[in-house]
């Protein structure tokens, strides 16, 4: 399976290991005009992740509203994927192990094959790699069209049907970093160990007051 991206790599991936102090807010910003004390005020508004409601491996509802005030990493996968998904999950587990005791940092992994990936299947999958929802790695299932729509319209990555691909669909290999306001702050190649290490470092930039908890 190919790892597909809607927006070119060059925009999102930094050069080498140059330390960064802040992360960009990604996406096309909108101009908002308001009147304050009779004066026109022009402000930039960045897009945020649209509303969603999916169920995790423990039959808990995970919603956009629930993620307010949390940093999270989103990705897309399916349990029978024979290509990039096993590598992605090994790399995501590095993120999980680093931050699993931080209640403000979550992982949302969306299946693109909900017909097969039922809640019991997702639970078995999570248990097999020794992770759990209690430590905020949630494997999500729901309506397939809703998952595809969320991937492409909000996260700006590919997830689409392909009858020639294993599981009948293809998806991006991206790990997507979302801040506490629901804005995209970074894209990382989930199949590249070095890029995942960059993700682990960048998460700290979104929560600097808690860095001392994770040294």
Beta-carbon contacts of residue 92 (< 8 Å; ≥ 6 apart): 73, 75, 107, 109, 137, 175, 190, 196
In whole angstroms, give the CA distance from residue 178 to residue 175.
10
Q: In the CATH scheme, what is the homologous superfamily, with its name and number, of domain 50-214?
A: Glutaredoxin (3.40.30.10)
Domain range list for the chain? 50-214
The pTM for the full model equals 0.84
In whole angstroms, give the CA distance from residue 103 to residue 139.
17
What value does the mean pLDDT of the chain take?
A: 87
Mean of the pLDDT values across residues 138-157? 96
Convert the pLDDT of each residue in 154-173 to its tens digit. Answer: 999 999 888 888 777 789 99
Convert the pLDDT of each residue in 3-54 to its tens digit. Answer: 344 443 333 444 444 556 789 999 877 777 777 777 777 777 889 999 999 9
CB 175 within 8 A of CB 187: yes
Convert the pLDDT of each residue in 183-207 to its tens digit. Answer: 999 999 999 999 999 999 999 999 8
Mean of the pLDDT values across residues 67-72? 97
Identify the pLDDT of residue 211: 54
């Amino acid at each position: 399976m190919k790892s597909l991206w809607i927006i070119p790599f060059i925009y999102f991936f930094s050069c080498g290991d140059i330390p960064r102090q802040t992360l960009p807010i990604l996406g096309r910003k909108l101009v908002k005009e308001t009147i304050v004390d009779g004066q026109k005020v022009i402000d930039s508004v960045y897009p945020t992740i649209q509303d969603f409601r999916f169920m995790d491996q423990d039959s808990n509802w995970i919603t956009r509203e629930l993620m307010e005030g949390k940093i999270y990493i989103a990705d897309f996968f399916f349990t029978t994927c024979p290509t990039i998904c096993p590598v992605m999950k090994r790399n995501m587990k590095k993120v999980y192990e680093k931050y699993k005791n931080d209640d403000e940092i979550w992982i949302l992994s969306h299946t693109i094959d909900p017909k097969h990936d039922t809640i019991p299947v997702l639970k078995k999958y999570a248990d097999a790699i020794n992770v759990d929802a209690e430590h905020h790695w949630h494997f999500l299932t729901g309506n397939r069209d809703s998952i595809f729509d969320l991937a492409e319209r909000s996260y700006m990555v590919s997830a689409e049907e392909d009858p020639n691909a294993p599981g009948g669909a293809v998806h991006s290999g991206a790990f997507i970093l979302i801040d506490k306001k629901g804005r995209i702050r970074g894209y990382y190649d989930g199949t590249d160990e070095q890029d995942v290490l960059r993700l682990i470092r960048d998460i700290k930039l979104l929560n600097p007051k808690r860095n001392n908890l994770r040294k």
